[in-house]
Amino acid sequence: MLDDWCRAVGPAVVLEPSLSRATPRLDEIALISWNVDVGGGDLDALLEWLRDDRQMDRPIVLLLQEAYRAGELIPPVAGPHHVPHRIEHAPPSGQRRSVIDVARARHLSLAYVPSMRNGSEGIPEDRGNAILSNLRLHDLEAIELPFEHQRRVAIAATVSVLDADGRIVPLRVVSAHLDARATWKHGLFFWSGRRRQADALVGQIDRERGATIVGGDFNSWLGGLEPEVRHLRRDFPQTPSAHTRVTFPVLGAAGFHLDHLFFRLRGGWHAEVVRVGERRGSDHYPLLATFRSG
């Protein structure tokens, strides 16, 4: 069955523009995790906001979920049972743009790996996870998660940063999107599938246990109480103390804490996480991480 899901999507995409930026210190970087709602979230508007905030050419790393790609690289529909319904929301600007189009227009590094097809009608599209940055991405890896309700593939890359002593060190960054529910054969609790996916994700990225940041939509309807979130918090000890952040609003200020950032940092670095104040057309708020030493 998983083969049918794979046959419904196109290949992964890697864009490596010519970048002349000097290696930044970690505390110069702005890192965001955001579910962009398959084009509903205005990536261009967020990038403009980041550029205008504090410095014009700030080093950025975006961990994106529900990014999409359209076009001829996507094969014909493999079968109705392996094609989720189409999500096609227009951003506030009215111009829906794929993550590949945004990366090319802005000369950004991109790693995109599709998880599933985006519907069977209209222009062929697939959707999945991406990492977008004005830093060079290397050591790319697609991480196939245990199958539950839908196919899920996380993506990992490494960027180079300066530590507190000015040495160049690797920083692993991972974008993930866990399933909203488990299949019935795998358990009665709706979080049981996500726990299996989180365990597999941690097992894969823990092979070297270097400095790592994991961000994504974990579909954690109980927020920090869910076992997969508690597991990741234990494994990533520099994650800031949890507090309730509604990242997926339902009724006014009410909603769910679905999105998280987890940190394993070295050399006395610490992370601070805030919820960005505008959704910019997505159904999720972005989370912004900044860093300090000492």
- In the numeric block, which tokens belong to residue 159? 């960027």
* pLDDT, position 254: 82
Nearest to 270 by CA among 290, 286, 242: 290
- In the numeric block, which tokens belong to residue 71? 């076009």
Count other Cβ atoms within 10 Å, centred on residue 127.
29
Those residues whose C-beta lies under 8 Å from the C-beta of residue 12, and which sit 6 or more positions away, are 111, 112, 113, 114, 142
The Cα 291–Cα 293 span in angstroms is 7
pLDDT in tens, 147-197: 988 999 999 999 999 988 889 999 999 999 999 865 555 554 566 788 899
2-293 under CATH 3.40.50.300, yes or no: no
- In the numeric block, which tokens belong to residue 27? 């505390």
Strand extents, DSSP E, 183-258 = 212-217, 248-251, 254-256
Nearest to 15 by CA among 87, 110, 80, 79: 110
* pLDDT, position 28: 93
Judged by DSSP in three states, 96 sits in: coil
Place of tokens 């996480």: 273
* pLDDT, position 187: 54
- Look at phi and psi of residue 239 and say left if phi exceeds 0, alpha if psi is from -120 to 50, else beta: beta
**CA distances in angstroms from 111 to 108, 126, 174, 195, listed in the order given:** 10, 14, 11, 25
Q: What is the identity of the amino acid at 103?
A: A
- In the numeric block, which tokens belong to residue 49? 């906001």
The Cα 45–Cα 39 span in angstroms is 12
Nearest to 68 by CA among 26, 18, 129: 129
* pLDDT, position 172: 97
Give the length of the chain.
294
Those residues whose C-beta lies under 8 Å from the C-beta of residue 20, and which sit 6 or more positions away, are none
* pLDDT, position 186: 53
Virtual torsion, Cα 242, 243, 247, 248, nearest 10 deg:
110
Question: pTM, whole model, 2 decimals?
Answer: 0.94
- How many whole angstroms from its chain centre is CA 95? 22
- How many whole angstroms from its chain centre is CA 244? 20
Q: Is 252 exposed, middle or buried (0-12, 13-18, 19+ CB in 10 A)?
A: exposed
Count other Cβ atoms within 10 Å, centred on residue 44.
16
Judged by DSSP in three states, 208 sits in: coil
- In the numeric block, which tokens belong to residue 193? 């599938």
The Cα 84–Cα 98 span in angstroms is 18
Q: Which residues of the chain fall below pLDDT 70? A: 52-56, 78-81, 181-191, 208, 243-244
